[in-house]
Amino acid sequence: MHRNDMKPATIAAQAAGAIDMASGGVVPPLQPSTTFVRDRDYQLVNEGNVYLRSHNEAVRLGEDILSRLEGAADTQLFPSGMAAIAAVFRTVPNGGAVIVQSGIYWGTTKWIRDFCVRRDITLHEVEASDTAALQALCAAQQAQLLFIETPSNPWLKTVDIKAAKACAQSAGASLVVDSTAATPLLTRPLEMGADIVMHSATKVINGHSDVLGGVLSTRVRSPLWEAICMDRNEAGAVMGPFEAWLLVRSMRTLPLRVEKMCANAMAVAEFLSQHPEVEDVLYPGLPSHPGHALASRQMTGGYGFLMSFLVKGGREAALAVAGRLNLFHRATSLGGVESLVEHRHTIEPHTGIPENLLRISIGIEDVDDLISDLNQALLG
């Protein structure tokens, strides 16, 4: 019997206590079957399993581990982070309203804007890291959802989750927090009042750049949550058993990976902040960051693995630095064990991203090697 007060590192390493009871194996099994048999009296052999869309052991185990890491009443896995976001927003009725943080991951913003147009939903965008601006908007508008992302991608802005909850209540909205860049280990939004927390499991929760997935966890089993669960099951927005099995495998090392990535990121940020070829560093772990004090209250054990920095000399200088890097892979995404670099203006030139901004995701490599690589690339 496993205690309910186990620390996150133990929950993750032990896969919440799961083993293969049939063989005695210490690794939870993979069951790929899409359907489950009944006996001659047409009774289910296993009462919990009828059909894969609704029932799979690997998916349920992944959801159990994440619920325990988040301190959640329930968790649902999805085939991608965007599928998880879509499931939340599909609960908003035609003609409704939502409040969304500006300057978040562009894929989220674009999908929400298009969805709101299709469904005749009023969309209010606000710089949610400015608590006064958020309070003013929520006091003036009623909405079904308030959606924030903290730390934000790629600006690394920090939003006060407790204040956002109060703002959501004044607007009659449920608070949804994208906590992908914080992970369940660094920030637990549900404990700060959030109604639902979302992650792109593709990122650091999986951490090996080989699984696409999304997560929603809820503070309570509300009517909103029940609507999300029903929609996921009936619309079929489910994670496959192999992906769920890989995700469970990856989560067993999540605390170790996050600890190393955060330590590496802090050292890299401090190095870049002193470099003569760097104009500015966006990382909440730096005392110079506008959201540092808030991040220090909301984040425990580190400030994350994601950061952006501005290269002196403009667009061409930034692209040249990216091109000279040898250890940082030039690739989209974040949160993997390998370090990545991306010139965001190339990806989203229409969003106001500075042309000299490089976003980097710090992995688990030797930090001195990462710093050396960045230094040679910056010095040319």
pLDDT tens string 203-238? 999 999 999 999 999 999 999 999 999 999 999 999
Residues β-bridged to residue 75? 217
Domain contains 244:
yes
* Catalytic member of 68, 157, 165, 203: 203
Q: Both tokens of residue 298? A: 């909301």
For residues 236 and 268, membership in a common domain is answered with no
Domain contains 78:
yes
Which helix (H) or strand (E) segment is 122 a member of?
strand 122-126
Name the band, by pLDDT with cuts 50, 70 and 90, for residue 51. Answer: confident
* Catalytic member of 74, 160, 178, 373: 178
For residues 232 and 102, membership in a common domain is answered with yes
Name the band, by pLDDT with cuts 50, 70 and 90, for residue 52. Answer: confident
For residues 24 and 86, membership in a common domain is answered with yes
* Catalytic member of 105, 157, 165, 232: 105
For residues 53 and 202, membership in a common domain is answered with yes
Domain contains 1:
no
Q: Say which CATH number the domain at 189 has.
A: 3.40.640.10
By DSSP bridging, strand 145-149 and strand 174-178 are parallel
For residues 168 and 19, membership in a common domain is answered with yes
pLDDT tens, 115-145?
A: 999 999 999 999 999 999 999 999 999 999 9
| Greater model confidence, 375 or 27 | 375
- Any residues with CB less than 8 A from the CB of 163 and at least 6 apart, and which? 131, 134, 135
Q: How many domains does the chain have?
A: 2
For residues 237 and 286, membership in a common domain is answered with no
Domain contains 149:
yes
- The residue among 378, 280, 302, 352 whose CA lies nearest residue 125 is 352
Please give the Cα distance from 362 to 234 (Å, whole number): 38
User: Cβ distance 97 to 244 under 8 Å?
Assistant: no
Q: Is a pLDDT exceeding 60 seen at residue 2? A: no
257, 261, 332 from 209: Cα distances, Å: 13, 15, 11
For residues 67 and 209, membership in a common domain is answered with yes
Find tokens 């489950």 and name the residue: 36
- Domain final residue pick, 251, 276, 297: 251
Residue 1 pLDDT: 39
Domain contains 163:
yes
**Residue 53: active-site member:** yes
For residues 226 and 324, membership in a common domain is answered with no
Name the band, by pLDDT with cuts 50, 70 and 90, for residue 4. Answer: low
Q: Say which CATH number the domain at 331 has.
A: 3.90.1150.10
- Domain final residue pick, 224, 251, 278: 251
**Residue 10 CA to its chain's centroid (Å):** 21
- The residue among 157, 155, 177 whose CA lies nearest residue 165 is 177
- Domain final residue pick, 251, 279, 301: 251
For residues 173 and 291, membership in a common domain is answered with no
**Residue 203: active-site member:** yes
For residues 48 and 170, membership in a common domain is answered with yes
| Greater model confidence, 143 or 24 | 143
Residues β-bridged to residue 360? 307, 341
For residues 225 and 342, membership in a common domain is answered with no
For residues 182 and 300, membership in a common domain is answered with no
User: What global pTM score does this model have?
Assistant: 0.95
Please give the Cα distance from 299 to 255 (Å, whole number): 14
pLDDT tens, 97-115?
A: 999 999 999 999 999 999 9
Domain of residue 94, residue span: 8-251
